């Protein structure tokens, strides 16, 4: 397969990484996961905009102009003759240099982007998934899609060990998001989710959920909910580029409402289907 790098497309087998690489040694970089349906990008502008915002936030220069980025990402799918459902993973690091915490001088960024298959999780989206809750022990700048994912990895692993799909993260009981998705509570016909502050990743699908809600006349409140609100919730769901709109039917071993996906969740799934299709 062809991989996009900071200078050109190379064959994956030819891709080598230096021993001292700042992404590897410091997690000093940013990334994106972009959904592809039938060989076409979904929400590409939102992802590219967020990539440049994340890079700017860590004072990292993206090797391509935005215009170039769009062109090359398109070419990546063409070169690989990718026509299925998948994702493009793209990461940019501060480059390769002798290990020193301070930024290296005169060193260019390293970039790679590749495409892989990601089948839609249709069964799970139909039935809903189980979750656990975990303290959100991440740093204060979670709006940056940085490569430092150890707290997210640990939370997801704990969820996996409990046979759960995701970990719902909270700061002193206030729900922020999940380890790799945004989370929403439905109560009395309205959607509640943590505001897009620096404490959460501003999900590209989250932007669409707000629009779908507005179009359907469903009140969308950017207002954080708490762990105790989950007991009283009518519905709970999460979103991400790979999980789409996923109903949550169980939290910490207790069913959410009657334990089946709710009406507004279904409405959001239908709106997503139409938008992405
Ligand atoms: N995760 N919150 C976190 C912490 C995330 O890592 C993600 C995405 C989201 C949802 O963002 P979006 O709607 O733009 O996909 C929210 C990607 C899929 C990942 O790391 O694999």
Mean pLDDT for the stretch of residues 2-10: 95
Task: Tell how far the Cα of 261 is from the centroid of ligand 1, in angstroms.
Answer: 21
Q: Is 239 in the pocket of ligand 1 (CB under 6 A)?
A: yes
Out of 61, 85, 117, a domain closes at 117
Percentage of the chain lying above the pLDDT 70 cut = 100
| Residue nearest atom 11 of ligand 1, based on CA coordinates | 203
pTM: 0.97
pLDDT tens profile 202-235: 999 999 999 999 999 999 999 999 999 999 999 9
Average pLDDT of the chain is 98
Q: Are residues 185 and 267 in the same domain?
A: yes
Q: Is 131 in the pocket of ligand 1 (CB under 6 A)?
A: no
Mean pLDDT for the stretch of residues 122-126: 98
| 37 pLDDT higher than 90 | yes
| 16 pLDDT higher than 90 | no
Q: Is 176 in the pocket of ligand 1 (CB under 6 A)?
A: no
Q: What is the CATH number of the domain that holds 18?
A: 3.30.470.10
| 270 pLDDT higher than 90 | yes
Q: Are residues 22 and 151 in the same domain?
A: no
ipTM metric: 0.98
Out of 117, 136, 151, a domain closes at 117
**Beta strand spans in the chain (E):** 2-5, 9-11, 29-37, 40-41, 86-93, 110-117, 129-135, 166-171, 174-178, 182-187, 190-193, 220-222, 235-240, 244-251, 254-255
- The per-residue pLDDT for 17 is 82
Task: Tell how far the Cα of 190 is from the centroid of ligand 1, in angstroms.
Answer: 23
Q: Are residues 156 and 242 in the same domain?
A: yes
Specify the number of domains making up the chain. 2
Mean pLDDT for the stretch of residues 100-111: 97
Q: What is the CATH number of the domain that holds 243?
A: 3.20.10.10
Is the distance from CB of 249 to CB of 165 less than 8 angstroms?
A: no
- Domain, as residue range, for 208: 122-276
Q: Is 182 in the pocket of ligand 1 (CB under 6 A)?
A: yes
Task: Tell how far the Cα of 104 is from the centroid of ligand 1, in angstroms.
Answer: 29
Q: Are residues 140 and 267 in the same domain?
A: yes
| Residue nearest atom 4 of ligand 1, based on CA coordinates | 180
- The per-residue pLDDT for 113 is 98
Out of 53, 84, 117, a domain closes at 117
Give CA 247 to chain center in angstroms.
16
């Amino acid at each position: 397969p062809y991989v996009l790098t900071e200078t050109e497309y190379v064959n994956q087998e030819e891709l080598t990484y230096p021993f001292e690489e700042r992404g590897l040694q410091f997690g000093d970089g940013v990334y994106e996961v972009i959904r592809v349906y039938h060989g076409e990008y979904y929400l590409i502008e939102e992802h590219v905009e967020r990539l440049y915002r994340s890079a700017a936030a860590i004072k990292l220069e993206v090797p391509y102009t935005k215009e170039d980025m769009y062109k090359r990402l398109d070419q990546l799918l063409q070169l690989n003759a990718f026509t299925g459902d998948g994702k493009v993973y793209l990461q940019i690091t501060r480059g390769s240099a002798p290990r020193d915490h301070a930024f290296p001088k005169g060193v260019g960024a390293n970039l790679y982007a590749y495409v892989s298959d990601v089948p839609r999780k249709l069964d799970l989206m139909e039935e809903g998934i189980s979750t656990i809750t975990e303290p959100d022990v991440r740093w204060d700048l979670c709006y940056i899609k940085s490569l430092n994912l150890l707290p997210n990895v640990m939370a997801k692993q704990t969820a996996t060990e409990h046979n759960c799909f995701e970990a719902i993260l909270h700061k002193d009981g206030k729900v922020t998001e999940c380890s790799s998705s945004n989370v929403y509570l439905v109560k009395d016909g309205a959607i509640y989710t943590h505001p897009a502050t620096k404490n959460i990743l501003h999900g590209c699908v989250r932007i669409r959920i707000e629009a779908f809600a507005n179009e359907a006349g469903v009140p969308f409140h950017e207002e954080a909910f708490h762990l105790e609100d989950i007991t009283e919730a009518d519905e709970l769901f999460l979103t991400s580029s790979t999980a789409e709109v996923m109903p949550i039917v169980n939290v910490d071993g207790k069913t959410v409402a009657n334990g089946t996906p709710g009406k507004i969740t279904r409405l959001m799934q239908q709106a997503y289907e139409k938008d992405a299709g």
